[in-house]
Amino acid sequence: MMCSAIYGSPSTKKLLTYFMTGADVAFVLARETTSRLCLPAPMATVRVVQRTMDQTTLRRSALVRVLVICSFIGALGGCGYSEEQWRRKLNEITSLKEQLGESDKGYTQSKKDLDEARARVEQLRNQLKSAGVDVANLRKNVDEQARALEEFKQRAAQLERIKQRYDQLREKLKNLGALGLKVTVRNNRMVIQLPGDVLFDSGRVKLRKEGEEILSKVASVIQRDAGLRERAFQVAGHTDDQKYVVIYSDNWGLSAMRARQVLAHLVKPTAEGGGGLDPKNWSAAGYGQMDPIVPHAEGDKARQANRRCELIVLPRLEEMLDLEELSR
């Protein structure tokens, strides 16, 4: 049916006439005459062909040519693509081929560069080996140094955080300097030193009035700061090396009782004239003459400095580093 439709068009007839021989044309004309006269196809065809030629082979050849041409034209018309579309597709294919070629060139160059780099590495490895350097141990040492560097960075960061806490704590306690008190670092602990002669009379454990006033001011500074208020403190009592045998038998007993008196005043409720601090955060200890600031043998001034009470800010676990180094 497709061939009949194609054959019926004028352009197709011209194309067929161009490619067919005289015998072919005769056969085609016979087909047209048959269809126009409405004669039985076989009988009419035989009559016309007998008048023009008797060569059956030529008719078959013409028929084959017509079928081939019809198939060619049908393929062109039934494929669904115009010439412009085919041209665009061909251009796309050409472009993709060019891109593939460029990619192949880049891959080839990259592979070449990689091979050259491997060759240089192998050359350096051989040179190191010739120089007596063990590449495997060298790599191991590099890894160990990298781990050590990472640990150092972590420790430095931790140290910086602790230093910041220390600076903040020292800033908070700076107001105590106005009271004539000294804030320092001893034995890796921050210490507030209270002169013993201001707090107590010689050989006594009862707080002087002036001593109570100083302790109340210290408690007020701590009480106003939430961070200080939650810290743990220890009151440490110290004496000189002069022998004491009156009530408390020795200097340990005297220093411990003085520390207890300071502690009792600091935790006493403010309504009763005390400092009002939380007793859960406080403790007391007596060191006697065993922890002097300066050697007792240096004289009376040294002994006077060693008679003291200290408020020690107990370090937290994450703060247990070298605070003396941080304070420099």
Instruction: Choose among 275, 284, 286, 169: nearest CA to 214.
Output: 275
Per mean pLDDT, which range of 21-25, 138-142, 246-250, 303-307 is the poorest?
A: 21-25
**pLDDT, tens only, 270-321:** 999 999 999 999 999 999 999 999 999 999 999 999 999 999 999 887 666 5
The C-alpha atoms of residue 46 and residue 30 are separated, in whole angstroms, by 9
The number of C-alpha atoms within 13 Å of 300 and in the hemisphere containing its C-beta is 1
Residue 254 has pLDDT above 90, yes or no: yes
Mean pLDDT of 54-76: 48
Q: Which helix (H) or strand (E) holds 284?
A: strand 282-286
Q: Give kind and range of the element (H or E) at residue 238.
A: strand 233-238
Going by C-alpha positions, the residue among 168, 199, 172, 196 that lies closest to residue 265 is: 199
- Strands of the sheet containing 182-186, edge to edge, are 182-186, 189-195, 308-313, 233-238, 282-286
Q: Please report the pLDDT score of residue 83 as a whole number.
A: 82
pLDDT at residue 76 greater than cutoff 60: no
Give residue 81's pLDDT.
Answer: 67
pLDDT tens for each residue of 79-91 = 556 888 888 888 8
Q: What is the pLDDT of residue 321?
A: 58
Q: Mean of the pLDDT values across residues 208-212?
A: 93
Burial annotation 217-246 (CB, 10 A radius, 16+ → b, else e):
bbbebbbeeeebeebebbbbbbbbbeebee
Stated pTM of the model: 0.52
Tokens of 152: 């150092």
